[in-house]
Amino acid sequence: MIRIYILLLLVMLMWGLNVSALKTLVDAIDPMLLTSFRIFTAGVAVLIACGIMGILRWPYKHEWLTIFSIAIFNVILHHIFIAVGLEMTTGVNASLILGLTPLVTMMMAVVFLRQHVTWLRVVGFILGFLGVVVANMSGAGGLGAITIGDFIVFLGILVQGFSFVMISKLKPTFDPRLATGYMMVIGSVFIFIISQAFGSEVQEITSLLDWKLALVFLFSAIMATAFGHMTYNFATKQVGPAETAIFINLNTLFAIIGSAVFLNEVITMNHLAGFVLILFGVFIGTGALEYLMLKRKKTQNKVS
């Protein structure tokens, strides 16, 4: 179990630093064009890994619809919104908003899957969203300092949360790691077509010939996106979604630190207060607190 926790910690570190990596890349290359190449590279890396693990196969006809349906929200819309939003906001703000992902996913499950929600989780939802508001009031404009970029990043986690609901409803018959690879490859093709429709210039991708940008790109595509998602899915199966959700808080922490170190962005008291609120919001709202309390109660009952 310690090995799983170490892997989760490593994934959270990579996902956190990936916010700074993406911010660096979208400042140099058109966001949608970059995203198409990045997701395609990640998808190919996942499929190669699946081949090495012996789980690679061609999807059946009825499975293609499942893959494409989820890819629309989980890959195409999600990654476009995140890339475009990051170009229009700061790395710190994006990090804090992305920290709401578990809460948004839980809310989607309540709305669409009719999952039971306790008052304790409602408190978690309120704390989480309050944290984002507080963090984004750090500018002189107060609430008016919330930018269109912040809103677009939030749309990115909304569509991703909806995709998680779709995954739980559709229950694909193939390995989720294999499905991830196919979704990324298919989604990247559509993102590329959309980027061309919006006038992206393909020659911009030659900026990756710069070795520093190339290293950042490979880290983001292969390590954070491909390896990160495969490892997280594996860990969720091993220890359960409640415990893995606790680690999401570290993702936000590493993202904020990365923005300060690599992007030279200023972390204000509002950002720190917002982070604390989001941390407690995610911990309570995802049911992690209830899970640990129940686990402790069962242990005490066994002892007595």
Q: What is the pLDDT of residue 17?
A: 92
What is the mean pLDDT of each successive set of 10 residues along the chain, which is 304 residues long? Answer: 82 90 90 94 95 91 86 92 88 80 77 76 80 66 65 91 74 75 94 93 92 95 90 71 66 83 84 83 76 80 70
Q: What is the pLDDT of residue 14?
A: 93
Q: What is the pLDDT of residue 142?
A: 45
Contact (CB, 8 A) for 85 and 94: yes
Place of tokens 């402790």: 296
Residue type, 249: N
Contacts of 57 (CB under 8 A, 6+ apart): 174, 178
Q: How far apart are the first and last CA of the chain?
A: 26
Alpha-carbon distance of 109 to 104, in angstroms, equals 9
